[in-house]
Structure formats: C-alpha cells, structure tokens
Structure 1
Amino acid sequence: MGRERMNTGSRRRVAMLVAMAASVGLVTGCSTKVAGAASPLGQLDAGSVAGLPVTNGASGPRSGIADATLPVTGSDGGEMDKLALNTLADVNDYWTQQLPAVFNKQFRPVSKLTSYDSDGPNQRVCAGKVDTKGVANAFYCNLDNSVSWDRGQLLPLLTQKFGPLAVTMVLAHEMGHAIQYQLGPLSGVNQGTPSIVLEQQADCYAGGFMRFVAEGKAKHFEMSTGDGLNKVLATTFFVRDTPGGSFTDESAHGSAFDRVFAFQAGFADGPKRCSQISPSEIKSRVTETGFVDAKDSAKGGNATIDDKSLGHVQDALKQVFSKQAPNAPSFSSSGATCSDAKPTSPVAYCPSSNVISLDLAKLKEIGTPAKKGQGKGIGDFAAFGEVASRYALAVQKANNLPLEGTEAALRTSCLVGYWGAAMKTPTAGVRLTAGDLDKAIAELLTATSLIAADVNGTPAAAGFTRVEAFRIGFLQGANTCTQQFS
C-alpha cells in the first residue's frame, strides 16, 4: 500500500506490494526495539472489542445490495472491480459523515479511479508518471487526486489469502492518504512528512472505517468483530515492511506490530486520533530494527526449529520466569495424557504433572516460513511463542491463577509478550531479531493459535484483544499481566 507524491519537483515511489506474491506468500517484515510505559489503547476490556461486542459470523460483501456505479477508467467489469468500487463508495459515505463531524471540513471524493491488470498492457496513471506493467499495487496519487489498483494480481491475492475485506482495508488505507491531503495542516501533513507517519495515519484512518463496517453502517459490507476482524488484522503481516528495515527509511510503512497498533487506534478512537500520529509519537513506540548480524540476515531472522533451538527456548523461559515460577515445568516430547486439561497441539501443558509436551514436527511446520506461497508456516518466533504460551500457564498455576477462560487466555498472551520483550537481551542463546514480533502477531491471529489460549486450547475470541494483551505484556511487564487479567 502506498501513495505517489511530489517532493520539490521529484517523484518518490512508495514501497510497492509487487514482491509479495513472488517471495513467500506472506511477506516478511521487522520488529524489536520499543519505548513506552502504557498500553497504547488504554484499559483492555476482555469481553469486547474497543467497546463493541465480540461477534462471529458473516463478514464480507452484503448480499442483495446493488453494486456501486462510481466512474472508473480501465475496468473489466469483473468481481474484483465490483469489490473495489463498492468499497470506495462506502468509504466515501464514511468520510462524508466524518470530515464535517470531526474536522469541520466537507469531504471531496477523489477525482479519478483507475483499474488495471499488472499482467496486461501497460497504462500510464498518476498524471502519466507511473507505469502499471508488473506493478501489483494499490495507491493514491496526489498529483491528480486519484486512486489506482491492480485487479489482476493484488486484489485476487488479498482475497484468496484473507478474504474480500482485505481488499476493503487496503483501499480504505489508500483513501486515508486522500484524506491527509484534504486535511493538510489538520492532519499534520506537509511535503516533509516522513513516509512512516503518512502510512500509519492511513492505517489508522482505515481502522476508523472498518469500525464503521463492524457497526453495521456500511451499505455494501459487514464484518464480525471476532473472526472477521481477525482476518483484516492479519492482512498487516502481508503488507508490513521487509525484515531488517528502519522506520526512518524513505518508504517505511512499519512492522505488522506497529501497523496493527495504528489500525487499532483508529478502530478504537476514530479519525481525530489518527491525525495525531506524528514523528515523535511513532518514535516513542516504534519496534522496527535490524538483524543481529550478517548470519542472522542470511537466514531472514529465522532459526531452525529443532531440539537444539527449542532447548534454548526452554532455558530462556526458565530464566525469565524464575521468580514467578521457581518450580519450573519439565518438558516432554511424548504426548502424555492429562487428568485436568484437554490435550492441545503442537504444545500442551498438564497442570497436575507440571509437564509441557512438545510435538516437534508440528512446531517445525509453524516455524518454517512459507516459500512462494507454499506451506502454512510463519517463522521461528511463531513456534517459540506457542511453547512460551504453555510455559505461561505454568507461571499462572504457580501463582494460583485460573487456567481456564478468556481472562486466562489473555493473561497468557500478555505473559508471552513479556517474555518476548525480555528476549531483546540475549538469554540462553535466544534473542529477538528483525521480524520476530510480526511472526507472533501473525500466529496470534490464526484460528488455532495457542499464544492467547487457555489451558484447554480455547483462544480469546477477538484477535483485537489478543494482540493488545500481548502488547501490554511487551510494554508493561509480567506484573501488569497478572493484575489486569485477574
């Protein structure tokens, strides 16, 4: 996701999505260094999603609704363009309401919409400055106040991986750039505004619009706050920066960890909050960092999931939680039965025996990144987070805390976040590196993730709260986890 802009007469191309499909199916990004003392979204309500009830069910285009008739150049009249135009019509409705109400300004729709096929004949868009051939992207261009999208590769890929609302989120993000230019100083935007600010403001504006959808106010779309919103949030892993980058890079968008926060801020607090995202605000919470060394970079920040690496993780967990759980659980590679908890996979914790059972083959599947769209793996820290989640249950048992239910699930996510923060300092051969937090976020948002699940493997229903609980632990520490989720 990006936008085209002019800087003192020269055009700067924002990072494209073109590499996504060609590399791994889920693109890699970055994360690590964090500053901050409070949960960015405030007190977390385990029973809701930013004040909305947790719901599951229908998410996507509404049935029986006439398609939008916005004028568009280059359309083939197919399903992808219908999805795009219906999205933009609903986004127009949202901003027609919000700009006067929040900023006392009238909304002006963009001047031109263009659909193209990146595999088809080349077109010149963005006032004739951008070629479409081979460009699997969607972008706003302030040169002619236009939005363009690739119906041939990008939109089908998003729909295939995350559902149609992924397209809705991406185009709502692009319209966020249009809003920035309409607001000007009210959004703190000028020619010198860093890319990271522009992109995360746009993520935030997209979050505000997706709440509009979740509240049932959008004409063409609906979204549940449970599984529907989970898939939308998971899209951030797909559009994050590649690992090892810096938030100061010319075309930086942010890690998934950071982009999820920006989206959540808009969803929770609306567009006024989005306009307050600034260089100093981002610097205070940024998590992007480089690789540890050249060897780490060559591996893409991924360790091999085997007995050796899992042994390091076990030792690191024991060290970090030595005070909270002095009677450390033991580990087993055999699927032992348990009298007081249901078996979970790929890792299980049995309270009565204080034993954590590991399934190495399944952990390796999670921890090995997919290549060229093949496989379901995410990366090493996704697998390590699964192990840490069951250790977090042993910590809770040692402190006489309940191990079942939503509070236990979110407390678990919070404690895994705390352990992740501790890994910023090398511990027992384990160290957080570029992309690790993003892997945890991606795993958190899967339907079968244990990172925010109770002892029986039942996850907190809303990925929104799972991620925020993880962030609370990462920023505030273990004591906050046990105090807030009690």
Structure 2
Amino acid sequence: MTRSFGVAGAALALALTLSACTTTVQGVALGTGRVIKEDVDSTFIKNSDGGEIDKLAGTVVKDVEKFWEETFPATFDNKPWQPLRGGYYSVDTSDKAAPAPPCTDQASDVEGNAFYCPSADIIAWDRASLLPVLKERFGEASVMLVLAHEMGHAVQRRAGITQAAQRSDPQRYPTILLESQADCYAGAFVRWVSDGKADRLQLDRTALDPALEAMVLFRDPVGTEQTAQGAHGDAFDRVSAFQDGFEKSAKLCSEISVDNRTFTQRGFLSEQDQATGGNLPFEDTLKQLEPDVNAYMQAELSKLGKQWPNPKLDRVTSTPRCGQGDQGPVAYCPDDRTIDVQTRGRLAELHTKIGDWSTGTIISSRYAIAALAALGKPLTGADAQRSALCVSGSYSKFLLNRQGNNVFALSPGDMDEAVQVLLGFDFPARDLDGEAPATGFERVAAFRTGAVDGINACNLD
C-alpha cells in the first residue's frame, strides 16, 4: 500500500496538462522565493536526470533526513532514525519507456503525484508534471511541503504506526488520520527550516501562503466521507494539521489519534445540497445569515453579561466607507451600529468564485467586530484583528455542529471556502482602521482557534 500526498484537484490537473504555462490563483501571489541555500548532488536519486527539479527535491529530502535524525529520537523514546532502505526515485512520467519505481507497474502510475511505499521503503515523485508545476504555480516551498509529507509516512512506519494500522481495526487508524499526521509532521519540518536550523534550505514565511494553497488543491473532493478509503481530509483539515505541526511540535503530531482529533470533512446529507455543491445564492445567504449570526452573538454576549445591539445588515451598492478605514466590501459602522454589505463587486465575485462561506466568513467577521465593540474591547490593532477572526471561526464551528433538518448550517466544503478566502484576502481580518495580518497563514491560524476550540478561546472576557 502506498501513501501519497493526495490526488491532484481539478485546478491542478488542468495545470498538469498546461505545464508550460503560468496560471495564478485569484488573490494568491505566485510563490517565487528560493528555498535553497546550498543544493546537493542529485546522483543519489535513482533515475534522476540531474536537472534543477531533482536538485530541488534532493536538497529537500536531505534536509528532511537531517531533521528526523535530530527529531526522531526526541519524539520516540531515543529510538534512532533509520534512513530509507529503498531510497528515492525520480520518475519521468512524460516518457512511456521510463523505468517504473517499486510498488508501481509503469511510470505513468506516478503521474501527478508523489508517494511513499512502506513495503519497499521508498519515496518517489513525478519530476515531469508534478514538481515543476508546483514550483511554478506555488513556489519551491510547496515542493518542500509535499516531500516532507511523504517522509512523514516513513516516520509512521519507523514508529510502528503503519504496521499497527494494517493489523488493527481500521476505525482506530483511518486513512484520514494517517494523512493528517503526515501533514502535521510536514509542518514541524517546515517550522525547523523557517527557524534557520536547516543546513541547505531557508524559508521566508510569506512563501507559506502559496504553498498552503497547493494543499487546498490536493484536498479530497467535496462531499467525501471521513471514513472513505484513501481520504486525506478537506482543505481545513489538512491546513489545520500542518499548522499544528508548525506551531507546536513533532511530538504533538506523534500523539494524534482518533481520541483527540476531529475532522471537518463530511459527506452531503441531502441530494439537494449535493446538487448545489452546498452553496446558496448570494441573496439567500444574506437573508439567512443575518438573523442567525445575530442570534449567535446575542447568546454568547449574554453569557458574558453584555447586551447585544442586534446590528442591522444594510445593503449598499458602493464600497462601504463607514468607520475609520477601509474594511473591504463589508464593514462594521460604529456610529449607527450597522453592518454595511456591498452587494455588487468583490463580495459577490468571491461568492461566485469560491462559494457561499467566503461570504459568510467575511460578514461574520464584521459581526465579530460589533461584538468587540459591545464588550468594550479595542477595535483596532493586532488583538482586535485576531479576535475578529477567532469569533468568526467560532461561529463557523457552531454552524458545523448544528443538527436538524431545514436549519442554517454548514455544508461540505464550506470550511474549505473559509480557508481559501483567508489565504487569498485579508477582508475578514481587517480592524476598524482597515489593517490586517500580513499573511494568510496568520489569518487562518487565528480563525482556526475559534473554529477548533470555540469562542471561549477568543479571550473575550
């Protein structure tokens, strides 16, 4: 059984057929930052052509090996790290006569992917139509992330997890859990690089945003059940696992289990929801969101002994200019305690391109600013920005867990839409001055605090 980074989503699959062209994701800057300080001789890679892609891949895996030489004993009771017995394979999937790596029948089996095979203890990658496309579209950091994920599966084998998963009840070690752990291990490695501890690699954290966008494209198809064989998780699950490793440690990653890990990926509950892809029309979203988010904020503020002002949602055609700065297409207006929503332009465009919960994420963040005002909290500065995102995330958590028929709740893919808008745009994070955290990584992290731990984690009292 092989463990891969994931199946390329439709957007990347299109890029694979057009690999000579440059295609950018709306709102996400193309990653061009160099990660290599000193490259390696790639002759240790089997079937390598010695080109730039294999030099990049080889440099990455050598530093990943160094990371685990240091980290594995500290994570697994002083057990030493064992190098890959079968080594590394570069596969030219553009050549029908190219040799196939172990665990495959032909080179084309690797097309558009990278994988770890535990039986042969090897890592292989497509050097023709995967790594070059990732590098071009999302920067070299995305290649680092993919190969570190595959090494994460090698870590699982050395820790005995792979063998236990094969012997034990599959419900104890579902595929989605193993993939989440590998994403977490990748995050721990990338943090080590960004902290300047790597011998050959370096990383400017601004390069993380486009790399995480690649994770969005490698998510499971919307509506995939958590229990599906080969499930890797939705974009929120995958980015969350990566950030846990980045922000905490490989030790935390090693302790991920079905007892302490929840996933947002889920299947459609109705044919109607599936038919619409889980998306409401723009105006219907506004109509259903307004009373619901007001009720949520009222309930939460009452727990803190505060009165919720029940701000009215006003539809405007021009860019909202209330407040002290440009909050974007949705703005909290402190003078009259209203929420101005621009019904034409950027918000409606994002609704169409990303989905209805891009709209929900942006609007709920402005209600979060209103909540900060009702609590007498600052409405500007870094704390206000993080709190707005956290409270918005807590509302998403509330809707995700809501049960019942014909209720306003999140559909499969909605949390992914939140991740996409947070990575690509800073509207949900803007304070009253129009200022926001510089990177999508920071914005997702603050939103995720509320989405995972709830509103009590947002430090409102």
**Partner residue in 1 for 2:418:** 440
- CA drift at 1:390: 1.6
Superposition TM-score, scaled by structure 2 size: 0.84
Match of residue 434 from structure 2: 457
State the percentage of identical aligned residues.
35
1:418 CA displacement: 1.9
- Contiguous gaps of at least 5 residues in structure 2: 17-30, 302-307
Q: Which has the higher contact order (CA 8 A, sep 6+)?
A: 1
8 Å Cα contact 1:415-1:470 kept in structure 2: yes
1:273 aligns with 2:248: no
1:114 to 89, 98, 111: 89
| C-alpha displacement of 1:191 | 4.4
Q: Out of 328, 331, 341, which is 1:358 matched to?
A: 341
What are the Cα deviations for residues 254-295 of structure 1, in whole angstroms up to 9, with x where unaligned? 12222223222322332222221223333xx22221123112
Give distance in 1, aligned partners of 2:271 and 2:366. Answer: 32
Q: d(CA) in 1 for partners of 2:399 and 2:14?
A: 28
Q: 1:390 to 1:105 in 2, by over 3 A?
A: same
Deviation per residue, 1:222-259 (Å, 9 max, x gap): 2234x233333333322222211122111111122222
* Cα distance, 1:457 vs structure 2: 2.9
CA contact (8 A) 2:323 2:433 kept: no
The 1-side partners of 2:442 and 2:56 are apart by: 28
In structure 2, the CA distance between the partners of 1:467 and 1:21, relative to structure 1 (3 Å rule), is closer
Query: Which of 66, 81, 86 in structure 2 is aligned with 1:93?
Result: 66
Which of residues 375, 392, 395 in structure 2 aligns to 1:419? 395
1:94-243 correspondence to structure 2 within 5 Å: 94-103=67-76, 104-110=78-84, 111-121=86-96, 123=98, 125-133=100-108, 135-184=111-160, 190-192=166-168, 193-225=173-205, 227-243=206-222
Measured in 2, the distance between the counterparts of 1:101 and 1:364 equals 50
Query: Counterparts in 2 of 1:336-355, with a 5 A limit?
Result: 338=321, 340-355=323-338
Match of 2:270? 293
How far apart, CA to CA, are the structure 2 residues paired with 1:147 and 1:172? 10
Q: How many Å apart are 1:338 and its aligned residue?
A: 4.2
- What is the CA–CA distance in structure 1 between the aligned matches of 2:406 and 2:311, rounded to whole Å? 15
What residue identity is the alignment partner of 1:139? F
Question: Does residue 1:4 correspond to 2:5, yes or no?
Answer: no
Choose the corresponding residue for 1:332, options 308, 315, 336.
Answer: 315
Contact 1:169 1:210 in 2 (8 A): yes
Distance 1:322 1:362 in 2: 29
Amino acid at match of 1:418: S
SS in 2 for 1:140: strand
Gap change, CA 1:186 and 1:342, over 3 Å in 2: same
Residue identity opposite 1:416 in structure 2: S
Instruction: Supply the distance in 1 between the matched residues of 2:41 and 2:138 (Cα, whole angstroms).
Output: 23
How many angstroms apart in 1 are the aligned matches of 2:319 and 2:225? Answer: 45
Q: 2: CA distance between counterparts of 1:473 and 1:62?
A: 36
The answer on whether the counterparts of 2:382 and 2:436 sit within 8 Å (CA) in structure 1 is: yes
Seen in structure 2, the aligned counterparts of structure 1 residues 476 and 14 have a Cα distance that, compared at 3 Å, is closer
Match of 2:288 among 299, 308, 312: 312
Q: Is the 8 A contact 1:237 1:438 kept in 2?
A: yes
Question: Which of residues 250, 270, 275 in structure 1 aligns to 2:229?
Answer: 250
Following superposition, the deviation at residue 118 of structure 1 comes to 3.2
SS in 2 for 1:445: helix
Deviation at 1:174, TM superposition (A): 0.3
Alpha-carbon distance, 1:352 to partner: 2.1
Given residue 451 of structure 1, which amino acid in structure 2 is its aligned partner?
P
Decide which of 448, 451, 457 is 1:474's aligned counterpart.
451
Task: Please give the root-mean-square deviation of Cα atoms over the aligned residues, in Å.
Answer: 3.0
Tell me, in whole angstroms, the C-alpha distance in 1 between the residues paired with 2:314 and 2:136: 38
Alpha-carbon offset, residue 114 of structure 1: 1.6
Query: In structure 2, what residue type is equivalent to 1:334?
Result: T
Q: In structure 2, how many angstroms separate the alpha carbons of the residues matched to 1:427 and 1:399?
A: 34
User: Whole-Å Cα distance in 2 between the matches of residues 302 and 118 of structure 1?
Assistant: 37
Over 3 Å counting, the alpha-carbon distance change for 1:24 and 1:452 in structure 2 is farther
Tell me what 1:46 maps to. none
Aligned to 2:369: 393
Decide whether aligned partners of structure 1 residues 14 and 386 sit closer, same or farther in structure 2, where only a CA change above 3 A counts.
closer
Larger mean CA deviation between 417-426 and 399-408 belongs to 417-426
CA distance in 2, matches of 1:4, 1:388: 41
Equivalent residues of 1:69, 1:85 under 8 A apart: yes
For residues 49 and 69 of structure 2, the distance between their equivalents in structure 1, rounded to whole angstroms, comes to 28
Specify the SS of the correspondent of 1:218: coil
Deviation at 1:184, TM superposition (A): 1.6
Post-superposition CA distance 1:365-400 (Å, at most 9, x none): 2122xxxxxxxx322211221122122212222222
**Structure 2 residue matching 1:312: 3-state secondary structure:** helix
Task: Please give the secondary structure, in 1, of the residue aligned with 2:260.
Answer: helix
Assess if the C-alpha contact under 8 Å between 2:8 and 2:113 holds in 1. Answer: yes
Matched to 1:17, the amino acid is A
One-letter amino acid of the counterpart of residue 88, structure 1: V
How far has the Cα of 1:336 moved from its partner? 6.2
Q: 1:472 and 1:293, CA in 2 relative to 1: closer, same or farther beyond 3 A?
A: same
Over 3 Å counting, the alpha-carbon distance change for 1:328 and 1:253 in structure 2 is same
Structure 1 position 434, deviation (Å): 0.2
Q: Distance in 2 between matches of 1:24 and 1:437?
A: 24
Q: Report the alpha carbon displacement of residue 410 of structure 1 after superposing the two structures with TM.
A: 0.8
Q: 2:379 aligns with which of 403, 415, 418?
A: 403
Once the two structures are TM-superposed, the CA of residue 215 in structure 1 deviates from its matched residue by 0.8
TM-aligned CA deviation for residue 330 of structure 1: 3.4
Residues 122/184 of structure 1: CA separation in 2 closer, same or farther (3 Å cut): farther
TM-fit CA distance, 1:213 = 0.5
- Which structure: greater helix fraction? 2
Q: Partner residue of 1:17?
A: 8
| Unaligned stretches of 5+ residues in structure 1 | 6-12, 26-56, 369-376
Match of 1:292, SS state, is: coil
